[in-house]
Structure 1
Amino acid sequence: MKPTRLFDWGYGVRMIDGYDLDMPGRTGIYVIEGEALTLVETGPAPSVPYIKAGLEELGYSLSDVRHIIVTHIHLDHAGGAGLLLKSCPRSDVVVHPRGQRHLADPSRLVKGAKMVYGEAFNRLFDPVVPVPEEKLTVKSEGDSLDLGGGRRLDFMDSPGHAAHHFSFFDSVSRGWFTGDTAGVRYHHTQDLGFTFYLPSTSPNQFDPDAMKQSMKRMADRSPDRLFFGHFGMSDEPRKVFRKVSAELDHFMAIGREAVAAGEGADGIRKRLVEHYRAALGNRGCGEDHPIWEPLELDLKVCAMGVEWYLLQQKKKA
């Protein structure tokens, strides 16, 4: 294992680096402190040892955990839930209603991830352990979760990245835990004086209009901060929403051009990479900058989602 990395922004919110895809700063597992200790996201199964080590460093035992919340059921957010739950005897797993059956029987999740990641699946995600149905708690639009001590989480259906996605607002930090609906925070560019944000448009439920509407609903609550699945916290929510919406428009324009030219998902990927290499190169990101490895991986998956959406729209026309 790599060294445990912990982050603390106050308000009783900590974060453990889960080293998803064996990368530092990829997927964050949040610890919401209070009377009912709560974890947000688990990452895939290989992240579970980091969660255990992080909790120990923070002075908590696994039996202290009361809730494990997954914003959606993609394996980089929820793949480790069943495995972690085995060590958290007093916890449930909180999930969107559309995700409940897939955590109880993750066979379709596994099949879909293998199509994307191929031979790397076992190294990156295995094992994917089912969550017992009696340990699943469903939260829908308008539901809340009382964590005690005056802390409440309010849940909102937040499609766009996936149909099985919710986000929730924390009354103490006044922050949204956004999962992937409000995009990805690329902290890697902070050495150059800025943070970079892009939408996450993975297949097969991506919907750009729903994504924009979800972000608008988050903005309407006037949050003070956003906590991202990938990766960390921003205290500039409105700037993030504007930036991600603008980049989403770029994604779709580039996708339409590539599809019209008959280039498919790989053509979209190549155009996206070319676009962002130029844009970030102009801001000082050289060829060896650490942003490129995660960004190019993400753009490959995002291109697949953009193509899927455009082909679905074509079928409806």
Structure 2
Amino acid sequence: MSLPLITDYEYGISAIDAQFHRPRRAAIHLIVEKGVAALVDTGTSFSVPGVVATLKQKNIAVEDVAYVILTHIHLDHAGGASQCMQFFPNAKLVVHPRGASHMANPIRLVAGAMSVYGEAEFKRVYGEIVPINIERIMEAPDESRINLNGRSLLFLDTPGHARHHNCIYDECSQSFFTGDTFGVSYREFDVNGREFVFPTTSPVQFDPVAAHTSIDRIISYKPRYAYLTHYSRIGNLEYHAQSLHDLIDAHVAIAQRAKDNGGERQSIISRALRNLLLQKLAEHGCQLPPNEINELLNTDIRLNAQGLIHWLDQPPDRFKQL
């Protein structure tokens, strides 16, 4: 097969395009330390052949993949995990303790996704997900570490987007692999090297209080870069952290204004989120045509609105935390 888009950075880090819906929508990050490799997130089962082809192009044997690391188990991040474990015979799957059982027995994970997409669409988008041998799964609780051929990777429990979310601090590059905790930043929105970042509040475990805390925890390490799954490396992290804090609060305010609108909530929240992000992109200096911006944002706005509605429907004491 042809190689996916690959972006090589320093310190042995590369972004491999997961080929999920469109180019540069989701990244699989490869870390190589003296010939030994780890992957951070996997894309879907359809992403894995591109990863294998990339390893071959880089002269990395499949036997030299030591770890397949999941930031969390949402299927755009973890859907290819079982195929990865079949391809990489010596790899351990490293996952948050809350997600480990779902990798060993993915019945509930698959059933939940099928209830949203339908069986045919699920299989078209995600392919097949099979159980992973529990003996090959390594749980990574808060502040645990793994050793990648002498390179230390630190795991931090970082809820907000999901309760089963880790961010991984790479001391060598002084950078974090943040999954969805530090938001979404599509390269199409870059303006003169400046990135645009916005939060993901998608279903079903959005927690704004935890999200704020996790962002502050990441920034406390004073990292140089964050490697986002959607999409890859960003800098200027203190600025983006403040922007994320502001946008999380704005998302919550939009949701709360719509909480008594019953069946109209989805459309009201989606419209308000679109207007908010279009305004922020204009302030950012984005010159893309509105139809192109909308095309890039449509899925995120729909999922963010669904996540905010789910959050609204949680017990009333949730609001006392704000």
Structure 2 distance, partners of 1:254, 1:73, is: 27
Q: Which residue of 1 aligns with 2:33?
A: 34
Structure 1 distance, partners of 2:250, 2:14, is: 33
Pairwise CA distance, 1:117: 2.9
Pairwise CA distance, 1:265: 2.7
Q: How does 1:259-278 map to 2 (within 5 A)?
A: 259-262=259-262, 263-278=264-279
Which amino acid in 2 is paired with 1:58?
K
Which amino acid in 1 is paired with 2:147?
D
Query: Residues 138, 171 of structure 1: CA spacing in aligned structure 2 closer, same or farther, 3 A cutoff?
Result: same
Show structure 2 runs of 5+ residues with no match.
Answer: none
Q: Which residue of 2 aligns with 1:134?
A: 135
Q: Which moved more, 1:42-51 or 1:93-102?
A: 42-51
Structure 2 distance, partners of 1:130, 1:296, is: 32
Structure 2 distance, partners of 1:86, 1:316, is: 42
Structure 2 distance, partners of 1:2, 1:16, is: 13
Q: Which residue of 1 aligns with 2:51?
A: 51
Structure 2 distance, partners of 1:255, 1:15, is: 34
**Which segments of structure 1 move beyond 4 Å, counting only runs of 4 or more?**
none
Structure 2 distance, partners of 1:13, 1:316, is: 39
Q: Which residue of 2 aligns with 1:257?
A: 257
TM-score (norm 1): 0.93
- What secondary structure is seen at the aligned counterpart in 1 of 2:168? strand
Query: Do residues 286 (structure 1) and 289 (structure 2) align?
Result: yes
Q: How does 1:46-125 map to 2 (within 5 A)?
A: 46-118=46-118, 119-125=120-126
Which amino acid in 2 is paired with 1:29?
I
Q: Which moved more, 1:65-74 or 1:241-250?
A: 241-250
Pairwise CA distance, 1:266: 3.3
Given that residues 3 and 54 in structure 2 are in contact (C-alpha distance below 8 angstroms), is that contact kept between their aligned partners in structure 1?
A: no
Q: Which residue of 2 aligns with 1:302?
A: 304
- What secondary structure is seen at the aligned counterpart in 2 of 1:185? coil
Given that residues 94 and 137 in structure 2 are in contact (C-alpha distance below 8 angstroms), is that contact kept between their aligned partners in structure 1?
A: yes
For residues 30-84 of structure 1, the C-alpha deviation after alignment (integer angstroms, 9 at most, x for no partner) is 1111143111110111111111111112221211101000010010001110011
For residues 96-152 of structure 1, the C-alpha deviation after alignment (integer angstroms, 9 at most, x for no partner) is 000000001111111222233335221110111221111100110111111123x10
Structure 2 distance, partners of 1:301, 1:4, is: 26
Pairwise CA distance, 1:312: 0.7
Aligned length in residues: 314
Superposition RMSD in Å = 1.8
Which amino acid in 1 is paired with 2:222?
S
For residues 182-209 of structure 1, the C-alpha deviation after alignment (integer angstroms, 9 at most, x for no partner) is 1111211126764221111111111011
Pairwise CA distance, 1:27: 1.1
- What secondary structure is seen at the aligned counterpart in 2 of 1:60? coil
Which amino acid in 2 is paired with 1:162?
A
Structure 2 distance, partners of 1:167, 1:87, is: 25
Pairwise CA distance, 1:306: 0.8
Structure 2 distance, partners of 1:191, 1:178, is: 22
Which amino acid in 2 is paired with 1:33?
V
Q: Which residue of 2 aligns with 1:232?
A: 232
Q: Which moved more, 1:292-301 or 1:216-225?
A: 292-301
TM-score (norm 2): 0.92
Structure 2 distance, partners of 1:155, 1:69, is: 10
Given that residues 188 and 195 in structure 1 are in contact (C-alpha distance below 8 angstroms), is that contact kept between their aligned partners in structure 2?
A: no
Structure 2 distance, partners of 1:210, 1:315, is: 15
Given that residues 175 and 224 in structure 1 are in contact (C-alpha distance below 8 angstroms), is that contact kept between their aligned partners in structure 2?
A: yes
Structure 2 distance, partners of 1:293, 1:121, is: 21
Pairwise CA distance, 1:274: 3.1
Query: Percent same amino acid among aligned pairs?
Result: 35
Show structure 1 runs of 5+ residues with no match.
Answer: none
